[in-house]
Amino acid sequence: MTSSFGAFEDYISLEKNYSRHTASAYLNDLISFQGFLQNTYEIEDLAEVVYPMIRSWIVVLVEQGLTNRTVNRKMSALKSYFKFLLKTKQIDRNPMLKHKSLKTSKTIQVPFSSEEISEVLSALDQVQGFEGWRDRLMVELFYASGMRRSELIELEVDHINWERNTIKVLGKRQKERIIPLIPSVVITLRHYLDQRSALEIMGHVPFLFLSKKGVKIYENLVYRVINGYFRKVSKKVKCSPHILRHSFATHLLDEGADLNAVKELLGHSSLSSTQVYTHNSIAKLKQAHAQAHPRQIKP
């Protein structure tokens, strides 16, 4: 089974344009499934895998306390893998053909308020030097663009169009989109680039965001920066880069932005993915309706 993992990784990375993070997660899931098959059924030949075996793995995963969402992610890895094997004629049937995903509840993330974001930016006014401007630019870009953490990490200096004040973002499966930069972000960007140019960088580093050592930033660093600043001003359970993305979308919709426009800015492939952000906007509309409509019964 392992022998085809390398070819599968090339397939989802090069042909399907999956991100490195997704490809790595899928491979880890396949290795876990392989270990389960060997330990439970003492088999390695994929031709022997039938759906009841996969179902029994699902039971084990659930008993281990994994959420339905996590289990579904692992099943997505198996689905993609068996489709690949079927396509390359390594198997003649797909044991995942009739599999149905486990039900998951849609959790509504509470966005940061505009006041909380303003407090963080005010705190960043007091932080000087390279890291201060870098951290401020992170916060401003997340909130002004709604980009994903992985997209921010992969930004390059050459992606900036100074004439149009836009930045090119490479989303999931390398799908490209252009995001406008508001004036305040452009100002912060120029200050940051001045600081960045003073770093002692060995050779040309194309990536926009760097550590103080002059190397490309990584996911945990971005999380620590966002969490560190917002934890000081917010009591929300989650203070992550994704909540800033959620705040971007929610605040735009609150101000009357077109849902399709927000969809394009977020890089969603379908409108249903964007509609989850309308929850808070609808709640506000209901509140306004209840307070102002003349036919509402007053207490």
How far, in Å, CA of 189 to CA of 180, rounded? Answer: 13
pLDDT over threshold 90, residue 162? yes
Task: Compute CA 61 distance to the chain's CA centroid, rounded to the nearest angstrom.
Answer: 24
How far, in Å, CA of 264 to CA of 266, rounded? Answer: 5
pTM over 0.75: no
Percent of the chain residues topping a pLDDT of 70: 89
Phi, psi of 115, deg, nearest 5: -65, -40
Give the strands of the sheet with 160-161, arranged side by side. 160-161, 166-170, 176-180
pLDDT for res 299: 47
How far, in Å, CA of 230 to CA of 1, rounded? Answer: 45
How far, in Å, CA of 244 to CA of 86, rounded? Answer: 41
What is the pLDDT of the chain when averaged over all its residues? 86
Helix, strand, coil shares, percent, the chain, to 5: 60, 5, 35
How far, in Å, CA of 209 to CA of 195, rounded? Answer: 11
pLDDT over threshold 80, residue 200? no
Percent of the chain residues topping a pLDDT of 90: 56
Give tens-digit pLDDT for 114-130.
999 999 999 998 888 99
pLDDT for res 29: 94
- The first and second tokens of residue 23, run together, are 């490809």
pLDDT over threshold 70, residue 209? yes
| Domain map (residue ranges) of the chain | 2-87, 114-288
pLDDT over threshold 70, residue 194? yes
pLDDT over threshold 70, residue 3? no
Topology of the domain comprising 2-87: DNA polymerase; domain 1 (1.10.150)
Residue type (1 letter), 258: D
Using pLDDT thresholds of 50, 70 and 90, give the confidence band for residue 144. very high
Angle, vertex CA 165, rays to CA 111 and CA 243, nearest 5: 10
| Residues 224, 239 contacting (CB under 8 angstroms) | no
What's the whole-number mean pLDDT along residues 163-184? Answer: 90
Q: Regarding the domain with residue range 114-288, which homologous superfamily does it belong to in the CATH classification?
A: Intergrase catalytic core (1.10.443.10)
How far, in Å, CA of 39 to CA of 161, rounded? Answer: 55
pLDDT for res 287: 52
More confident residue, 9 or 108: 9
pLDDT over threshold 80, residue 4? no
- The first and second tokens of residue 60, run together, are 């084990």
Give tens-digit pLDDT for 268-285.
877 777 776 665 555 554
How far, in Å, CA of 225 to CA of 153, rounded? Answer: 13
pLDDT for res 160: 96
Render 100-127 in DSSP notation, one character per residue: -PPP---PPPPPPPHHHHHHHHHHHTT-
How far, in Å, CA of 170 to CA of 151, rounded? Answer: 6
Which residues belong to the active site?
Answer: 148, 172, 242, 245, 268, 277
Place of tokens 């836009």: 166
pLDDT over threshold 50, residue 288? no
How far, in Å, CA of 77 to CA of 58, rounded? Answer: 13
* Burial class of 287 by CB neighbour count within 10 A (0 to 12, 13 to 18, 19+): exposed
* Burial class of 198 by CB neighbour count within 10 A (0 to 12, 13 to 18, 19+): exposed
